[in-house]
Amino acid sequence: MWIRGKIFLKEFVEGCINFDRRIKEIRKDCKPDISFPSDALILPGSVDMHVHVRGLELSYKETVTSATSEAIYGGVTTIMDMPNTVPFINSPEKIKERLREFDNYSRTNFGVYSGVTSNSEVEKLPIAGYKVFPEDLEKQELKFVLSSRKLKVLHPEIPLSLNQFRNLRRTWQEIAALDIIKGNFHVTHSTNYETIRISKSKGFTTDFTPHHLLLNGETNCLTKVNPPIRSVTERRKLLRALWEADAIVSDHAPHTQKEKEMPYQLCPPGVAAVSFTTPFIYSLAMKGIISFDRAVELLSINPSKILGIKAGKIEQGYFADFVIIRLSRWRYSTRFSKVIETPFDRYPLDSTIVSVIVQGKIAYDGGEIYPVRGVNAIEDSRH
């Protein structure tokens, strides 16, 4: 298939892309199958390294279909799934079962992280890497995971953080966790600038979330997240992450309305807005706050590099995954997720997603989501 329009190749150029599942050719002229209007911008699809898809026994919160449909609506064409579902994913059998579930139902490309384990069979599977939770930092199995060359994603807090009142979960506990790890680590959802600065000085890659940047403290169950949202001063300093962090992630963590209506001390933490990140970052680019170059780095190029996948770039041989946006004001809300309430509801955004292509097929046309099948991005990138 040929498409024509304004394509992002380091800068925007008028041109054509020819693709099947991968990009075959980019050139100036063609007879296109689809021609996008001059106000539409063709960008690489976004890669979200930190999503809790749920599914399996947690399908009452969100299914693979509902989470990945919501992702597509938000311009995300590849998601990486966290293992803390029910059952927990850290054995060869459970990983295979999980990959089968994604094979059957995922509308985005996908990858799965295993939980910490000392099972060497896990190491041979096409996983994205390991997720290290705070409680894992004192487990025996951590040694095995530290010796693996695969990617490790750290939730940076020390085990102590989990066993105290929320207002005592301070930033030093986040920074202290960085001293326990070494090797190929990616430090996720940094809530403050120091975590990013120190992680980088130790050679780790970093990301941050829109909620730790934008939300004004933890006011109710809707804004309850782990690690907690920091003070206004800390959040202002975190703005530097827009220029200095490697990636931005959603940490999409869906719960039912009933669970979120529980008393504050009991309700489960998590914001479920996988579809917010991409239009948010491109809105900043539309306003000139960050460059499109930097926006694409945060959303696509860097996460793909960290994961070692053939995505995130409009270049020959890469996945034919695109998001097409244009300048148009709208107010955020989820549309395909089981979660209908987020703290970003009605947040004004300046970039509208008009179309999404996954593996060379139209997955979203501004109205409908089409049942496109994603691939295991880790496995598929090997050939």
Tell me which residue has its CB nearest to Zn ion: 251
Taking alpha carbons only, the member of 198, 248, 209, 250 closest to residue 82 is 250
DSSP lists the bridge partners of residue 7 as: 13, 42
Q: Closer to Zn ion at the Cβ: 48 or 251?
A: 251
Residue 350 a catalytic site member: no
Query: How far apart are alpha carbons 282 and 278 in whole angstroms?
Result: 6
Q: Closer to Zn ion at the Cβ: 53 or 353?
A: 53
Q: How far is the CB of 341 from Zn ion (least distance, A)?
A: 19
- Cα distances (angstroms) measured from residue 13 to each of 9, 37, 50, 112: 7, 13, 31, 35
Q: How far is the CB of 369 from Zn ion (least distance, A)?
A: 24
Q: Closer to Zn ion at the Cβ: 173 or 352?
A: 173
Q: How far is the CB of 16 from Zn ion (least distance, A)?
A: 39
* Site residues (CB under 5 A) for Zn ion, limited to 233-262: 251
* Site residues (CB under 5 A) for Zn ion, limited to 120-179: none
As given in the structure block, the two tokens for residue 55 are: 């599914």
As given in the structure block, the two tokens for residue 383 are: 């050939």
Q: Give 223's Cβ-side CA count (13 Å radius).
A: 16
Q: How far is the CB of 328 from Zn ion (least distance, A)?
A: 31
Element (H, E) at 129: strand 129-132
Q: How far is the CB of 137 from Zn ion (least distance, A)?
A: 16
- Catalytic residue of the set 48, 246, 251, 321: 251
* 3-state secondary structure at position 125: coil
Q: Closer to Zn ion at the Cβ: 251 or 297?
A: 251
* Site residues (CB under 5 A) for Zn ion, limited to 324-343: none
Q: Closer to Zn ion at the Cβ: 227 or 312?
A: 227
- Is the Cβ–Cβ distance between 121 and 93 less than 8 Å? no
Residue 380 engages Zn ion in binding (rule: CB under 5 A): no
Query: How far apart are alpha carbons 381 and 383 in whole angstroms?
Result: 5
Could you tell me how many residues make up the chain?
383
With CB under 5 A as the rule, give the number of residues binding Zn ion: 1
| Interacting residues toward Zn ion by CB under 5 A | 251
By annotation, the residues acting in catalysis are 251
